[in-house]
Structure 1
Amino acid sequence: MTSRLHPTLKLSAHIEKLPLKQPFHITGYTFTACDALVVSLHDGEFTGQGEGLGVYYRNDTPASMLQQVERLRERIEHGITREQLLELLPAGGARNAVDCALWDLEAKRGNTSVWQLTGLSRPESLLTTYTLSADDPDEVGEAARNYAGARALKLKLKDDHLNAERVRAVRAACPGVWLMVDANQGLTRESLAQMLPTLVETGVAVVEQPFPVGREAWFDGLHYPVPLAADESVQDRADLPGLEGRVQVINIKLDKCGGLTAGLALAREASERGFRLMVGNMGGSSLSMGPAFVLGSLCSVVDLDGPMFIKADREPGVSYRDGRIWCPDGIWGAPCTLPA
């Protein structure tokens, strides 16, 4: 009864709209804004924060995420561990936001950093892809040229006949850049095979999620010189066995697997099974990039450019320089000095 009268935490959860600088096109979708669920946990001295975007193609929206968190409000406010959270919320954006807020709060309470809590070594910065919308080839080439300092690019594709032209336009604009393409489930075995000569000719390093979810058997028997990556086909650890021998790269997103706790576990198991690791994002502000940056230290491919596409980021925010992302201490997961 005492714990009910004196909650250990005060939960605040609300949705923020993050308008994009311009429309962004992928297979089957055009985005003009990102809606984000922001969760704050306050213990009377310190506040931990987390941000979740959800998984749009699974109807995991910020509105439904907010409902999930509110249903769990009493349990959260009376004390919850990250391990308990794994049992109480499913993988998705709601669990991501709460889990990351718990990590942030623990770091501040302990006057330490999430890097120290995880036992990971903090990198100076991470090479990240800059993403190109699936626009007309001329526009794609111009956009690639406008990415000053880009060292890695990720080109979105569509389920149309212009993909090969898009790839060639990017390569012509940026001859020396590391390049991957992302079909967002929009290809078939036949259309991928037709594109393969162009992919090889232009030096594409990875093809991400070429086939629709549920069509993972289409990967069987493919022995392409370009590595294949799973994104939508891998939400959490339960999906890994069905992808062995089919893809070489696993794209881990905290909104998909449900937080940094689950993301680190997914990364460990995927590595043990022989997959290369990639960290991605569903968009969002620097508050989303902070925990993903931690996971990125384990990955050979990093795609953390979400804040580049929104009109206004948080302050302080991550920085992009020379094709790399850097996450300063003040954004998330670092010690907090109380005012005197």
Structure 2
Amino acid sequence: MAERTLEITDVSSPLKAAFTISRGAKTCADTIRVSLRQGEAVGRGECVPYPRYGETLPGVRAAIEAMAPQIEAGLDREALQAEMPAGAARCALDCALWDLEAKLTGRPVWQLAGLPEPKPVETAVTVSLDTAAAMAEAAKATPSRLLKLKLGGPEDLDRIEAVHAARPDARLIVDGNEGLLPDQFPAIVRRASSLGVVLIEQPFPAGRDEALLRRPGAVSVCADESAHTSAEIQDLARRYDAVNVKLDKTGGLTEAIRMVQAARASGMGVLVGCMVAGSISMAPAVLLAGLADATDLDGPLWLAEDVAHGLTYADGMIRPPSPELWG
């Protein structure tokens, strides 16, 4: 085997506008990108260190650096799963290994992984948390017919009603990011389907979601912050109807595939989601879209500038990555 070398780069990408959820706002996407070179082939991966899960940029970078000797010595994906915990650091390395294998073999990742051939797929586009009137205006300016509304406060029902009035053609995912008010939740659920809501995502904090054992209404409830890997699926299935699979949480595409399979085996629906990041981070997740009920991969749309050969979006649809980008 030709010698491998690993490069690690900190990336800071300004956003077009503030991205606001119940926990706060961000104006920049801070990621870590890795490039794994073997001969003339280069595999790339990217991750988003996420403070909600106790991750920092220096900490994730240090975890990747600590693995560099093993990665450069030829550590494979399966061994990586045992050597590192799920999370952003493993995600970057796992995705780089997939991309490198595709470059070395001339076979796309979807074939290597036994996934359906990727096709253009509808993606949700996020409407950032704001006043009801501002969110309604933002929804009008968003061409997608699947909108994800960030919620978290006493005006949440007003926000949903305002967006539905502005965009009656749109299907809505409402995302509490653990910040919905328990006394408002029953009213939101009762009204949800009449307001175009098709999914309610993580209404309550992880570990404090026992109320969902008695949840009312016909709209599905999806786990996000409560869900990380396939090992949690059986327990989550007691409280949630669906799960949001994000590669930065699972630790890469390898475990994400297992998580989707476990969710299906437990009768759960699947949303493939993302953190706010560019196309290198998003590309592996696009390959999972063929196994999902819905896709939320609008991260690059928030960036003021994406990478070369970035993912292509049009009218709420996202196209599969080109070989020049990833996989």
For the 8 Å contact 1:55–1:256, the answer to whether it is kept is: no
Q: Percent identity?
A: 37
For the 8 Å contact 2:309–2:325, the answer to whether it is kept is: no
Distance in 2, matches of 1:271 and 1:65, equals 31
Q: Among residues 146, 157, 161, which one is paired with 1:152 in the alignment?
A: 146
Q: Among residues 57, 61, 67, which one is paired with 2:56 in the alignment?
A: 61
Cα deviation, residue 331, structure 1: 4.5
Q: 3-state DSSP class of the match of 1:189?
A: coil
For the 8 Å contact 2:170–2:196, the answer to whether it is kept is: no
Q: Provide Cα deviations, 1:181-209, integer angstroms capped at 9, x if missing partner.
A: 00000124322013233323302100000
* Match status 1:43 vs 2:38: yes
Give the equivalent residue in structure 2 for 1:94.
89
Q: 3-state DSSP class of the match of 2:70?
A: helix
Letter in 1 for 2:110: W
* Match status 1:22 vs 2:20: no
Letter in 1 for 2:10: I
Cα deviation, residue 245, structure 1: 2.6
Q: Provide Cα deviations, 1:11-59, integer angstroms capped at 9, x if missing partner.
A: 0011100111111110121111111110100012100000001333012
For the 8 Å contact 1:290–1:331, the answer to whether it is kept is: no
Give the equivalent residue in structure 2 for 1:74.
69
For the 8 Å contact 2:118–2:320, the answer to whether it is kept is: no
User: Cα RMSD over matched residues?
Assistant: 1.4
- Normalised by the length of structure 1, the TM-score is 0.93
Question: Which runs of no fewer than 5 residues in structure 1 stay unpaired?
Answer: 1-5, 335-340
Letter in 1 for 2:273: G
Cα deviation, residue 282, structure 1: 0.8
Q: Provide Cα deviations, 1:203-258, integer angstroms capped at 9, x if missing partner.
A: 21000000101113121121321110000000111221221231111000000010
Q: Provide Cα deviations, 1:113-169, integer angstroms capped at 9, x if missing partner.
A: 001101222232011100000111111011111113x121000001x2111111111
Distance in 1, matches of 2:283 and 2:98, equals 11
Give the equivalent residue in structure 1 for 2:199.
206
* Match status 1:297 vs 2:290: yes
* Match status 1:329 vs 2:322: yes
Give the equivalent residue in structure 1 for 2:271.
278
For the 8 Å contact 1:53–1:61, the answer to whether it is kept is: no
For the 8 Å contact 1:236–1:256, the answer to whether it is kept is: yes
For the 8 Å contact 1:220–1:246, the answer to whether it is kept is: yes
Q: Among residues 169, 183, 190, which one is paired with 1:176 in the alignment?
A: 169
Q: 3-state DSSP class of the match of 1:232?
A: coil
Q: Among residues 238, 242, 245, which one is paired with 1:249 in the alignment?
A: 242
Deviates more, 1:14-23 or 1:193-202: 193-202
Give the equivalent residue in structure 1 for 2:26.
31
Cα deviation, residue 324, structure 1: 0.7
Distance in 2, matches of 1:151 and 1:122, equals 24
Letter in 1 for 2:25: T
Distance in 2, matches of 1:56 and 1:19, equals 18
Letter in 2 for 1:19: P
* Match status 1:223 vs 2:212: no
Give the equivalent residue in structure 2 for 1:130.
125
Give the equivalent residue in structure 2 for 1:337.
none
Pick closer, same or farther for the CA change 1:151–1:331 going to 2, 3 Å. farther
Alignment length (residue pairs): 327
Give the equivalent residue in structure 1 for 2:261.
268
Distance in 2, matches of 1:87 and 1:62, equals 22
Flag as ranges the 4+ runs of structure 1 deviating above 4 A: none
Q: 3-state DSSP class of the match of 1:161?
A: coil
Distance in 2, matches of 1:328 and 1:157, equals 31
Question: Which runs of no fewer than 5 residues in structure 2 stay unpaired?
Answer: none
